Chain A
């Protein structure tokens, strides 16, 4: 706990958790909140909705955290109100983790109770483990117990997060079943059990690209309300998401470059959308999609990359060459095939787009030769 406190004070951390990044907004929402606050929550569901989708709290503008389908957010919040666990599924880069972090921050004021799912995650990390030195010295005592983030969330009545749940082995996933249905973790060694306080819930995220790796069991799936997060539905939504996140990231990284012009944003998002959907925006031409993921999140990191490039090695103004380098890196992942697809796109689509695209086309062409 002390450690966490120290981190918070230190503004040099690369990335602040949502509850600190948007502390002002959360405070304002709490102050202006007129709705009924469910037990264990720090604000009413409506205020959470405002926090996620944007709006006003008193005089303060609340920035939208998740742009796109408002109904999905409503469904997510309503799920947490009914103390059900929430499972967010989507393609990589569809803001699953981002949404889960912000939901936890708004509901519990703490988005840090996270289990990061990997192939190496063990059941202990989901339930509890022991401080073995103390266990050997004193035998099983409450002091020697190392609680998992989920167990801590149960004790404090907060929202725990389970990232990339489908990357964990099935046995580990199944440890959640009893937690979710009984809402208790029993510790037979101490012959007691920890029951969840009101406000406890779990938000898990899973990746559709991982489907089939560790398919979730039907018993576990049944304990979640499942919400599928789609890729942004139209160009404008995606543009505004990219624009907002790029400027936020640039501010937090203190990049000494001017944010990308709207024109550059439009080009990047257009290219991404076209390659993702496999056809041009006017739906007249069919394209091949590259094998890798070309999500909104990729577009965001590409643009911040390009900004960093131009700040460190260029004039500080993002040029076509900076963008081209980023684009090539983001799109060409599986070397040979993607390279051909990218070249085809350059010559068949981009080249014919007219003078505004000329510069970017030339820069990309040079790189891809």
Chain B
């Protein structure tokens, strides 16, 4: 190195996202008039500075680095309008001086993030201890200063500090002391963190040295970095990274992009971290500072709270705002402060504007502290191919206006719109639906399908659209799956199909493929489903898959998808389900519920697709099941009901079957169970069939007491799904058979239960099912 040992550059330590820091930094820059401004931030993002300071870039925005291969690692650098770094970049752009980011390139930072993560897993116990310890240092500082928390301490002592020289010096001294306190412990307990900081600083020093070598006067170089690193960077020549070390640094291939960010995300410390708790408040503070009226911040803050309250219907007078300002100032003076901090403003708002009740002002406070602001970027500013593709498609489908943070409903009509001239316009909603389904497949939280709409009509879809920075992040991450949305979706579907192990899953994926308008993937899914179905004997699953396919085939043309390739598969599935039905019907009552559903689905398919599936086989299987005595009686009864419904069984056959099933001597669980199955469909047909009830009545008469109790359990269950009206009709029918006055019987049956009747029913509930 050519430079002398004692070269010194001007270092300005900041807290990221600090309006006070930004203000003082600007003054400092004006004073020094540097020729180079070096900023902590990934050095490979230097090219993006131009976009960051672009006039149409509206903060908050963030710089996102991500590895372009699995596993995805991301790192985020958010900027608000009051970020010292962003203000410094703007200053440099305005004065046309060199501006560079000098921290580790993102590839190296992400690679080391991986290394740190790996070594961190083991000593997790210790780590939590360390965390508790270091956070308690901050708490102790706040306590010693008589403040409620560290944020308040910081705000009062640094943000409110308007004295230019003292700000810089005190923050440097403060962070140097803090570092001294924590460094030793970090070295022993978190060696990887310590090493990482060391590498970063060495790299930053190297960058500074390179800038000096490029001919900048060290006195005219301003370095802006986190206060923690300030002391280490003042003398860049001591310990700067050498060429060999630079080459030896681990690195992963990575990409960088700018993305819009939101105040809401900035305020939530979870996820990508690096936030601050009240972004909009700090923006207000920055604006007040900029106007040179910091002392008016309490008035601005509290009157905004009052105005927000009024807008939502809670009236608060100006007099109360005045008193609130006075109270906040009184609170500040109790702490010897020059101006109220956020905490005191909130307390004053609660006391005066909320009249003691936090819940009254909570929403207004959240709005003013956090704010709903979302940043935006100039069009075409450093986007990933997938982002570009999405924007292009949104524009083509006229969806761009939905890209806001307010949740908006969108109803689609998938039918071809014949009133418009161009084909493009006619298919607008259909193409929108394809895109939205694709976004949903990619788990991009921009779209939410609103269930329930499908009941209304098959051609209608309801969506909720809401743009969030999270959505942007997921879009960026999805770049790894493919360069366009269609390619990414194909990849995701392929992935899912490969992992798919059940018939129902496979049929769901076929459905998704159809909804996304991806014919090739539908074909893949068909193959997978066919393979799986060949080995399966699970009638319930096969039937539900077949029902899904049948649905797709029936309504596929709405989406202009050729679903013909699915027809052979439907035939096959239906055939298998029929063949295994009899075998599957040999089951307990619990499993019978699933089979009942499957039988209903199969019956529906047989009706809707009688031209494709083998209906005669279905009828045959039903008759067989209906006649067999060794299957689950409920299923036999249900089969009988289906046959009746299909007109495959006439009244005479039915009467014969009923008398066979309900003849004296048949155990109650078989007889009544069968009746339960029978009564699950076409009830009106049953209700009007007098002979059936006569037979039932005779059967019940034939039972002894113990058997009667058993039968009662089944019959009660069978009738439980009948409506009150239907029950009355049954009661009247039975009354007629028994020769009871119709009205009288109905009255007794529909009236309230008497106490002793209640008790008898309760006893029935205690009935011992153990011997079933």
Residues of A within 8 A of B (CB): 45-46, 49, 70-71, 74-75, 77-79, 81-82, 84, 87, 89, 221-222, 225-228
Say if the beta carbon of B355 comes within 8 Å of chain A.
yes
Enumerate chain A residues within 8 angstroms of B343, measured Cβ to Cβ.
71
Residue contact B330 to A81, C-beta cutoff 8 Å: yes
Residue contact A82 to B148, C-beta cutoff 8 Å: no
In whole Å, how far is B358's beta carbon from the nearest beta carbon of chain A? 8
Residue contact A82 to B351, C-beta cutoff 8 Å: no
- A225 CA to B326 CA in the complex, in Å? 11
Enumerate chain B residues within 8 angstroms of A77, measured Cβ to Cβ.
330, 334
- A2 CA to B326 CA in the complex, in Å? 39
Residue contact A84 to B148, C-beta cutoff 8 Å: no
Known contacts A70-B148, A71-B148, A71-B347, A226 near B355 by CB under 8 Å: yes
7 additional A-B pairs beyond A226-B355, A226-B356, beta carbons within 8 Å, are A74-B347, A75-B327, A77-B334, A78-B327, A78-B330, A82-B326, A228-B357
Say if the beta carbon of B331 comes within 8 Å of chain A.
yes
Residue contact A222 to B319, C-beta cutoff 8 Å: yes
Enumerate chain B residues within 8 angstroms of A71, measured Cβ to Cβ.
148, 343, 347
> CB-nearest residue of chain A relative to B336?
A46
Residue contact A75 to B351, C-beta cutoff 8 Å: yes
Enumerate chain B residues within 8 angstroms of A81, measured Cβ to Cβ.
330, 333-334
Say if the beta carbon of B135 comes within 8 Å of chain A.
no
Residue contact A46 to B334, C-beta cutoff 8 Å: yes
- Which residue of B148, B327, B334, B356 is within 8 Å of A228 (Cβ)? B356
Known contacts A71-B148, A87-B356, A226 near B351 by CB under 8 Å: yes
Q: Give 4 nearest A-B pairs by CB, closest first.
A: A226-B356, A78-B330, A78-B331, A82-B326
In whole Å, how far is A199's beta carbon from the nearest beta carbon of chain B? 15
Known contacts A222-B320, A225-B327, A228-B356, A49 near B351 by CB under 8 Å: no
- Which residue of B317, B331, B356 is within 8 Å of A227 (Cβ)? B356
In whole Å, how far is A68's beta carbon from the nearest beta carbon of chain B? 13
Enumerate chain A residues within 8 angstroms of B319, measured Cβ to Cβ.
222
> CB-nearest residue of chain A relative to B335?
A74
In whole Å, how far is B19's beta carbon from the nearest beta carbon of chain A? 24
Say if the beta carbon of B524 comes within 8 Å of chain A.
no
Known contacts A46-B334, A222-B317, A75 near B355 by CB under 8 Å: no
In whole Å, how far is A41's beta carbon from the nearest beta carbon of chain B? 13
Enumerate chain A residues within 8 angstroms of B317, measured Cβ to Cβ.
222
In whole Å, how far is B3's beta carbon from the nearest beta carbon of chain A? 52
Known contacts A89-B356, A228-B356, A74 near B334 by CB under 8 Å: yes
> CB-nearest residue of chain A relative to B324?
A225
- A45 CA to B331 CA in the complex, in Å? 10
- Which residue of A45, A70, A79, A222 is within 8 Å of B351 (Cβ)? A79
- Which residue of B323, B331, B357 is within 8 Å of A84 (Cβ)? B323
- Which residue of A45, A70, A89, A225 is within 8 Å of B352 (Cβ)? A225
Residue contact A82 to B330, C-beta cutoff 8 Å: yes
A-facing residues in B318-351 (Cβ within 8 Å): 319-320, 323, 326-327, 329-331, 333-334, 343, 347-348, 351
Residue contact A75 to B148, C-beta cutoff 8 Å: no
22 A-B contacts, Cβ less than 8 Å apart?
A: A45-B334, A46-B334, A49-B334, A71-B343, A74-B347, A75-B331, A77-B330, A77-B334, A78-B327, A78-B330, A78-B334, A79-B330, A79-B351, A81-B333, A82-B330, A84-B326, A87-B356, A221-B355, A225-B352, A226-B351, A226-B356, A226-B357
- A236 CA to B351 CA in the complex, in Å? 27
Enumerate chain B residues within 8 angstroms of A89, measured Cβ to Cβ.
356
Enumerate chain A residues within 8 angstroms of B334, measured Cβ to Cβ.
45-46, 49, 74, 77-78, 81
Q: Give chain B's interface residue range (CB within 8 Å of chain A).
A: 20 to 34
In whole Å, how far is A237's beta carbon from the nearest beta carbon of chain B? 16
- A57 CA to B376 CA in the complex, in Å? 56
Q: Which of A74, A78, A221, A227 has the most CB of B within 10 A?
A: A78
Residue contact B347 to A75, C-beta cutoff 8 Å: yes
Count of A-B residue pairs with CB < 8 Å? 57
In whole Å, how far is B71's beta carbon from the nearest beta carbon of chain A? 38
B interface: dominant SS: helix
Enumerate chain A residues within 8 angstroms of B330, measured Cβ to Cβ.
45, 77-79, 81-82
A-facing residues in B87-113 (Cβ within 8 Å): none
Residue contact B148 to A227, C-beta cutoff 8 Å: no
Residues of B within 8 A of A (CB): 148, 317, 319-320, 323, 326-327, 329-331, 333-334, 343, 347-348, 351-352, 355-357
> CB-nearest residue of chain A relative to B346?
A71
- A225 CA to B349 CA in the complex, in Å? 10
Residue contact B148 to A225, C-beta cutoff 8 Å: no
- A228 CA to B355 CA in the complex, in Å? 9
> CB-nearest residue of chain B relative to A69?
B148
> CB-nearest residue of chain B relative to A88?
B356
- A89 CA to B357 CA in the complex, in Å? 10
- A46 CA to B332 CA in the complex, in Å? 11
- A108 CA to B330 CA in the complex, in Å? 18
Q: Which of B319, B343, B352, B356 has the most CB of A within 10 A?
A: B356
Enumerate chain B residues within 8 angstroms of A79, measured Cβ to Cβ.
327, 330, 351
- A228 CA to B354 CA in the complex, in Å? 11
In whole Å, how far is A53's beta carbon from the nearest beta carbon of chain B? 11
Q: Which of B317, B333, B348, B351 has the most CB of A within 10 A?
A: B351
- A89 CA to B358 CA in the complex, in Å? 13
> CB-nearest residue of chain B relative to A181?
B319
In whole Å, how far is A62's beta carbon from the nearest beta carbon of chain B? 15
Enumerate chain A residues within 8 angstroms of B357, measured Cβ to Cβ.
226, 228
- A222 CA to B333 CA in the complex, in Å? 24
- A74 CA to B351 CA in the complex, in Å? 12
In whole Å, how far is A182's beta carbon from the nearest beta carbon of chain B? 14
- A77 CA to B344 CA in the complex, in Å? 13
In whole Å, how far is B142's beta carbon from the nearest beta carbon of chain A? 12
> CB-nearest residue of chain A relative to B148?
A71
Enumerate chain B residues within 8 angstroms of A78, measured Cβ to Cβ.
327, 330-331, 333-334
Enumerate chain A residues within 8 angstroms of B352, measured Cβ to Cβ.
225-226
> CB-nearest residue of chain B relative to A73?
B334
- A46 CA to B348 CA in the complex, in Å? 18
In whole Å, how far is B320's beta carbon from the nearest beta carbon of chain A? 6
> CB-nearest residue of chain A relative to B320?
A222
- A75 CA to B330 CA in the complex, in Å? 8
> CB-nearest residue of chain A relative to B325?
A82
> CB-nearest residue of chain B relative to A45?
B334
Q: Which of A75, A84, A226 has the most CB of B within 10 A?
A: A75
> CB-nearest residue of chain A relative to B351?
A225
> CB-nearest residue of chain B relative to A77?
B334
- A70 CA to B356 CA in the complex, in Å? 16
Residue contact A82 to B327, C-beta cutoff 8 Å: yes
Residue contact A82 to B323, C-beta cutoff 8 Å: yes
In whole Å, how far is B344's beta carbon from the nearest beta carbon of chain A? 8
Enumerate chain A residues within 8 angstroms of B320, measured Cβ to Cβ.
222
> CB-nearest residue of chain B relative to A76?
B351
Q: Which of B317, B326, B348 has the most CB of A within 10 A?
A: B326
Enumerate chain B residues within 8 angstroms of A82, measured Cβ to Cβ.
323, 326-327, 329-330
- A226 CA to B326 CA in the complex, in Å? 14
- A81 CA to B323 CA in the complex, in Å? 12
- A226 CA to B350 CA in the complex, in Å? 9
Enumerate chain B residues within 8 angstroms of A87, measured Cβ to Cβ.
356
- A46 CA to B146 CA in the complex, in Å? 11
In whole Å, how far is B305's beta carbon from the nearest beta carbon of chain A? 15
Q: Which of B148, B333, B357 has the most CB of A within 10 A?
A: B333
In whole Å, how far is A29's beta carbon from the nearest beta carbon of chain B? 15
In whole Å, how far is A123's beta carbon from the nearest beta carbon of chain B? 25
Enumerate chain A residues within 8 angstroms of B329, measured Cβ to Cβ.
82
Enumerate chain A residues within 8 angstroms of B348, measured Cβ to Cβ.
75
- A62 CA to B513 CA in the complex, in Å? 74
In whole Å, how far is A70's beta carbon from the nearest beta carbon of chain B? 7
In whole Å, how far is B274's beta carbon from the nearest beta carbon of chain A? 28
> CB-nearest residue of chain A relative to B317?
A222
Q: Which of A45, A81, A227 has the most CB of B within 10 A?
A: A81
Q: Which of B148, B317, B330 has the most CB of A within 10 A?
A: B330
In whole Å, how far is B365's beta carbon from the nearest beta carbon of chain A? 15
